[in-house]
A and B are shown apart, each in its own frame.
Chain A
Amino acid sequence: MQIRTKLKFDALVVGGGIAGGEAALNLANNGYKVAIIEKELSIGGKMILLSKVFPTLDCSACITTPKVSEISRHPGITIFTESDVENIEKRGEHNFIAFVKRRPRYVIAEDCTGCQLCEKACPVITKDQFQYNLVGRKAAFIPFSIASPKVAAIDMENCTLCGACEKACPSNCIDFTQEDRFYEIEASTAIIATGFKLYDPANLPRYGGGQYKNVLTSMQMERQLAPTRPFNTILRPGDGKVPDKIAYVLCAGSRDDSAGNPICSQICCMYSIKQAQLLMGALPMADITIYYIDIRAFGKGYDEFYEQAKGMGVKFIKGKIGRISELSNGNLSLRYEDIQSGRIKEAEHDLVVLSVGALANKETPLLFKGIRPDVDKQDFILQGDPILSPAKTTIDGIFVAGTASGPKDIPDSILSAGSAAAEALSYLTR
């Protein structure tokens, strides 16, 4: 029989990215008990995997880790990593029930020291999802070096049960008998902070996304530029060559009805400009060209950052790429309309980065049983009172933080998380 552990909190936060974490901190710092449910093995969401942030060029890991530490050590916050919300139900005002399943890590988290000896011993190599498949990892592994918690996990889908990790572990914390654990969590309010999905480049066959080896997504480039990067330099995956003529294709899966996403993703212009600046530092001899429709540098200090990139020598060409073809040497030929001259042109690059957009997590509303929060045309959580109470959903007592309600950059996600926390606090004291 399934045993469900019953727990009670003031607030439930679904999603442990930067928005969910910030919302939880705001509530906990005001004395409330909060549970964070995170589906991945670590909290920190996408931000913890980024290279640097625009326009300050702060190292993202360096500013995320103290936040993540603060969240994970806060006495008022309980974190459930590798956990899925099976369903959330509103039973009345200030009365929400969430059924949560915590998947086994096959490692006794309390005893693991993160020594990585299991990782060394494991003979199985599979794709590393936290490096966006650029390199491999073992089946017994630490998600990434700044993961929180920094605890190993066994990837049972790829594990051969050879037992090498068990023998190598000095603290005897490998446990193949672990099973799913089930929880019934009662909370007085809930915050949805389930974030966004990156646009899948496989849906853009004209750009060769997922087919051409030297066409990367912006997130893969983000990893190559991060302090916890897979290689110690920038490489194109096709043949390991250091690229010297790099193209950025903006609006790859944004502002494009034919790609199924008519809206602007808000972040791609800026992260591309940032990556271009970082590449100028990493590969001083490389040419970097950004192909764009409009540059949307709208936030504080952003337009100045764009001007700075132009000053550094990043080339900006107004024109949307129509098609990319692969040449025999692995280089890529980009066909586009050069708006400034009104001509159709072709340009050759040895590495192409698709600046993929932000899409809604369509599963989010499905987490709810009974009444579900409404979504907008793009499947983002609909804001019930979008201008004067932007964090309200269509269900009283459930609030939305960060990119779950639409694309946002980090400061806007933080503000939206504060807003959700304020609404939740008001609801709790009502």
Chain B
Amino acid sequence: MDKKLGVYICACGGNISDYVDIEKVREAVKDEDCVLLARTTMFACGDSNQKEMEKDIQENNLSGIVVASCSPKLHLTTFRSVSERAGLNKYNYVHANIREQASWAHSGNKQGATEKAIHLVKAAIAKARFAKSLEPTRIKSQKSVAIIGAGVAGIKASIALSNMGDNVYLIERENKIGGKLASLGKVFPGNITGEDMIARLNEEVKNEDRITLLTSTKIKECSGNIGDFRIRLQDNIETGEPAVSEREINVGSILVATGFESYTPSEGEYGYKEIDNVITLPEFRDLIKNGKEGKELVFKNRKIRDIAFIYCVGSRQIKGENKYCSRYCCSAAIQSSLDIKERFGDVQVYHFTKGVRTYGSQELKYAEASRSGDIFIQFPDKDEPVVSSEKGVTLIKAKDILSAKKEIEAAVDLVVLVTGMVPDSDKSVGSLLKLPRGRDNFFNEIHMKLRPVETVIDGITIAGTCQGPKGVMESVNSALSAAVKTHSFVSKGELELSPIVAYTDVKTCEWCGACSEACPYNAISKSEEDGKVVAIVNKTTCKGCGMCLPVCDSDSIELTSFTNNEIESMIEILAN
């Protein structure tokens, strides 16, 4: 073989070199067939090393590189860019993961970790010998976007994208927009109510010519890929009558903003549905909204003088499924307490908390509530308060950490369960788009820290509370972030797709349909080539997942960049 390869072995500032003897790895691979140079480096991803690599490639006219460092999930694109900048087709670069797969996995066995790293690097070199240059598939991208869900996140994203010049389909299953905003009272820190926000957003949506608002509309089918999604919509879902109209829209990107649901306590949870003055926070908000200002707050003909809020209902559960914190509820409960005191005068509020989480300047609201006479009680994590009704009096009993675990008992007129956020119970959008979910059942982003609005499916972004609990301001930030990413998918009108796709050998294929059935993206279809029925892969919808390969009896499918030659040569090294 006439390939000229450069091999780079990264120390990762000790993450690798503390356990893997990288000098030994270099020694072991430097004389492998086709290897022209082999170097170690402190940080392969560092700027200076990237420059070094570019220089090496150009000066030695390298026809391939192997980088042995961390997971390709972190740096695949980094080193592909290095290759491109140096004029080397990026598919001639092969990655070996010697951090997650060697140094971290075998930190207790340095010799073993080093041996494994040597094997992994040699296997990567074997693959690099067969690697071929590939060119991306260029496709046209629709300059329009579908936004699913017209809560605050969906609406703000629509307005932003419309401002940036994209055509937006704003799709909402209800007959009006605004989502959960309507149920919110005053929202921190703007002192603006949910209803006022809806009024303002409605006006803004009306003024945007590029937004097509589709209320009472559901998504029925979705196909295609980034740049060219086709979505079938169904109208009039609420009438129960047969669908009046169906339509198909064609968009370049999809932004999902399907929101959350408030947790519904189970029957008997803190007396819910059993004791008649136990209600949830959203129900309480409705009560405040409908109460008359200045008058006393009345619930079921009873004047409300003492209220208990119980926090973390449906969040941070010890026994239940929801282990997560819903982040918005502490400050929402405190804001509600301040609201009722402002509107209805003298009310005593007891907060039964698991530790108050008013982060940032929400802390000022917590201080304000404390100063105004609210009493905060903290119950132990595993010893929740008990709500009971005795002779028509609702009692709440709890141990209080803040007063050395004293038993506290309060007789109250109303118990408000501060319920957290759970994912929307209608799972249809998620399953139609094949969006992955996390352990908490919210949609999962690509990277929690640095890529919080992108998903593993190219062209689909997630915004607002469908990704995880958020306050309104945080939902808007996430919506606008998703909008700017979505805009970059459609703004140029053209996109480059990965050339790593499956292809069939029409000579040996005897169409049996197994590959087509195995394909999760509907990318393989039956076709006639030279009078013979064969399977053909659509390279714009194929994601290169490889599901079709093992089901082919005649071994007629291959995957570019992962051909049988490449994989077999790697196995040969690893098995020795």
Interface residues of A (CB under 8 A from B): 18, 22, 26, 29-31, 53, 55-56, 58-59, 61-63, 65-70, 72-73, 113-114, 145-150, 226-229, 232, 255, 262-266, 294-304, 307, 318, 339-342, 376, 378, 383, 385-391, 406-408, 410-412, 414-419, 421-423, 425-426, 429-430
Contacts and interface: CB of A to CB of B under 8 A. Distances in A.
A263 B360 contact: yes
Given A66-B75, A301-B438, A419-B480, 16 more contacts: A30-B484, A53-B449, A65-B43, A66-B45, A145-B46, A150-B47, A232-B14, A263-B364, A266-B360, A294-B356, A296-B359, A383-B189, A388-B201, A414-B481, A421-B484, A430-B163
B55 to A, nearest CB: 10
A423 B164 CA distance: 9
8 contacts: A53-B449, A66-B77, A73-B85, A229-B14, A262-B367, A294-B357, A422-B483, A423-B480
Given A31-B491, A266-B359, A301-B448, A339 B401 contact: yes
Contacts of A113: 48
B562 interface: no
A390 B357 contact: no
Contact of A412 (B401, B439, B474): B474
Nearest to A343: B404
Interface in B49-74: 50, 70, 74
B192 interface: yes
Given A26-B484, A62-B45, A376-B361, A67 B473 contact: no
Nearest to A310: B381
Given A62-B74, A149-B47, A340 B481 contact: no
Contacts of A53: 449
A418 to B, nearest CB: 2
A264 B324 contact: no
B359 A391 contact: no
Contact of A264 (B360, B473, B480): B360
Given A264-B359, A412-B474, A425 B484 contact: yes
B78 A414 contact: no
A367 to B, nearest CB: 23
A422 B404 contact: no
A390 B479 CA distance: 11
Interface in B1-37: 12-15
B165 interface: yes
A412 B367 CA distance: 24
B487 to A, nearest CB: 6
Given A66-B75, A429-B164, A406 B480 contact: no
Contact of B448 (A266, A300, A388, A418): A300
B449 A410 contact: yes
Given A297-B325, A340-B405, A386 B163 contact: no
Interface in B465-508: 467-469, 472-474, 476-478, 480-485, 487-488, 491-492
Interface of B: 12-15, 42-43, 45-48, 50, 70, 74-75, 77-78, 81, 85, 152, 156, 160, 163-165, 187, 189-190, 192, 197, 200-201, 316, 323-325, 327, 355-364, 367, 401-405, 438-440, 442, 447-453, 467-469, 472-474, 476-478, 480-485, 487-488, 491-492
A59 B69 CA distance: 13
B163 A429 contact: yes
B357 A298 contact: yes
Contacts of A55: 448
B151 to A, nearest CB: 13
Given A262-B364, A390-B476, A429-B164, A340 B401 contact: yes
Contact of A426 (B160, B402, B404): B160
A69 B448 CA distance: 20
Contact of B453 (A297, A318, A378, A418): A418
A66 B401 contact: no
Contacts of A391: 477, 480
Contacts of B484: 26, 30, 418, 421-422, 425
Contacts of B477: 390-391, 412, 415-416, 418-419
B131 to A, nearest CB: 22
A421 B164 CA distance: 11
Contacts of A69: 45, 47, 50, 78, 81
Given A62-B74, A298-B325, A150 B476 contact: no
A390 B471 CA distance: 12
A30 B473 contact: no
Q: Which 7 A-B pairs have the closest CB atoms?
A: A418-B481, A342-B404, A227-B13, A422-B480, A426-B163, A419-B480, A387-B190
A378 B364 CA distance: 11
Given A227-B15, A301-B324, A339-B401, A56 B74 contact: no
B448 A411 contact: yes
A214 B59 CA distance: 51
A422 B255 CA distance: 15
Given A73-B81, A340-B404, A419-B476, A227 B487 contact: no
Contacts of A294: 355-357
Nearest to A149: B47
A296 B405 contact: no
Contacts of B12: 59, 62, 227
A415 B325 contact: no
A419 B153 CA distance: 12
A295 B487 contact: no
A414 B450 contact: yes
A226 B570 CA distance: 34
A408 B46 CA distance: 27
A303 B362 CA distance: 19
> Which of A53, A59, A264 has most chain B Cβ within 10 Å?
A264
A266 to B, nearest CB: 5
A388 B13 contact: no
A301 B440 CA distance: 8
Contacts of A68: 47
B43 A61 contact: yes
Contacts of B442: 300
A360 B152 CA distance: 29
> Which of A73, A229, A422 has most chain B Cβ within 10 Å?
A422
B452 A411 contact: yes
A228 B45 CA distance: 14
Contacts of A70: 81
B343 to A, nearest CB: 20
Given A145-B43, A228-B13, A303-B323, A389 B476 contact: yes
Nearest to A407: B360
A214 B47 CA distance: 35
Contacts of B363: 255, 262-264
Contacts of A72: 47
A410 B450 CA distance: 7
Given A29-B488, A340-B405, A412-B474, A418 B480 contact: yes
Contacts of A429: 163-165
Contact of B360 (A341, A389, A406, A410): A406
A254 B171 CA distance: 43
